[in-house]
Each structure stands twice: as C-alpha cells, then as structure tokens.
C-alpha cells in the first residue's frame, strides 16, 4: 500500500473518533435541569427591599413632545415627556445624526461624554491642493469635551449640558450644543 492511502485511512479513522472526545452540545438544553435560586445574604436583601420601596414617578407614555426650558442661571435644559430609557436612545440618535463625537457613555450615570466644536465648518474635499493643505496644516477642528446629562422627573426626562468638570452650562458653547440637540430632536419628532 502506498503511504498516501495509509495516511488517508488513518485520518478518516481519527476524524470519526473525534466525536467521542468533542461531543455535540446542541441538544444539551433538552436534558438540562432548572437550578435553584441563589441565596442572597440578609444585608443585601435589605438593600434590595429599600431600593424597591423607593418610588419614582415615571411618565408611562412615549410622548413626542420636546420643550426648551430657560429658567435663568444654570437652569436651561430640554425636556422630553417620555421615560428615561426612551430618551436615552433619542439623545444618542440625535448626537450621532449631528456627527457629535461620543467618546464615552455611562447609562448608570445617565451621561454621554462628547467632543463638540461649536465653530465647526464644512471641510472642502475637492482638489489635490485641499488634500495637501489638510495634510500639512494643523487640525481645523478644536473639539471641546462636554457631558450631556439626563435626569428623570415626574414631568419627563430633562437633558442638561455640562462642562468636563460637571458644571451645568446655560450659555456660550454649552447652550449651542443644547440648541443643536433640541433642533435635531424636534426635527426627528416632526418627521
């Protein structure tokens, strides 16, 4: 017998034996059993019961109403009459639609961390000369870090803009970002 035939016969035999060492796991769910619930330590049960007892009034309707509210010093915000989970998605969609760079987001802190350039101008991409100037010049975009912060109230979910230190901004570039969000969300609701 030629060595190639011998190798072929042994490899077929070994491949069929692989099923014994690597069994098929697709049908395991049929034979699975339900495991008992985990036992929670008493101190953690007290925390869970306390968290369940705290009642937050949440609007149940998914309303498409957006309001720009300006109450003076550091009290400028956008309010959407919807629960937090819905507004979180709407704000993320609005930031993405306006090409505002989201560097990080933390849903548990209800905060989007963004980079925004209020003086952003459209970049022309027409000729080789534009490419040459872009390559050897500095970065035209001067993005500034901001935080878009959401908080829930009985009237809906409020959207604030804060600087990187967490101070609420009601004027200047923070107000421009808030207006940009308001316009984008309003356009989205109207369409």
pLDDT value of residue 120? 63
* 8 Å CB contact between 46 and 56: no
Q: How many CA atoms lie within 13 A of 172 on its CB side?
A: 13
pLDDT value of residue 58? 52
Q: Which CATH number fits domain 66-190: 3.30.310.170, 3.40.630.30, 3.30.1310.10, 3.90.1150.10?
A: 3.30.310.170
The tens digit of pLDDT for each residue in 69-119 reads 887 777 888 888 888 888 899 999 998 888 888 899 999 898 999 988 877
pLDDT value of residue 51? 64
**Cα gap 118→144, rounded to integer Å:** 9
pLDDT value of residue 22? 66
Residues in a beta bridge with 144:
116
pLDDT value of residue 155? 83
Ranges of residues in the chain with a pLDDT under 50 are none
pLDDT value of residue 65? 83
Instruction: Break the chain into its structural domains and give their ranges.
Output: 3-53, 66-190
Instruction: Tell whether pTM > 0.75.
Output: no
Nearest to 92 by CA among 77, 82, 81, 103: 103
In Å, how far are 62, 67, 120 from 137, measured between CA atoms? 47, 41, 16
- The answer for 74, left when phi > 0, alpha when psi is -120 to 50, beta otherwise, is left
């Amino acid at each position: 017998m030629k060595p190639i035939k011998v190798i072929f016969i042994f490899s077929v035999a070994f491949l069929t034996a692989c099923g014994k060492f690597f069994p098929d796991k697709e049908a395991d769910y049929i034979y699975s059993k339900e495991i008992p619930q985990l036992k929670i330590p008493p101190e953690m049960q007290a925390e869970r019961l306390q968290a369940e007892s705290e009642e937050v009034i949440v609007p149940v309707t998914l309303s498409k109403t957006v309001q720009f509210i300006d109450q003076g010093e550091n009290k400028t915000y956008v309010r959407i009459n919807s629960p937090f989970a819905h507004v979180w998605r709407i704000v993320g969609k609005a930031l993405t639609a306006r090409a505002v760079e989201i560097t990080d987001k933390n849903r548990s802190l209800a905060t989007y961390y963004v980079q925004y350039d209020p003086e952003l101008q459209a970049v022309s991409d027409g000729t080789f000369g534009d490419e040459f100037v872009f390559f050897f010049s500095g970065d035209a975009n001067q993005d500034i870090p901001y935080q878009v912060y959401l908080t829930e109230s009985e009237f809906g979910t409020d959207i604030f803009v804060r600087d990187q230190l967490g101070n609420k901004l009601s004027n200047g570039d923070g107000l421009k970002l808030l207006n940009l969000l308001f316009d984008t969300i309003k356009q989205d609701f109207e369409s």
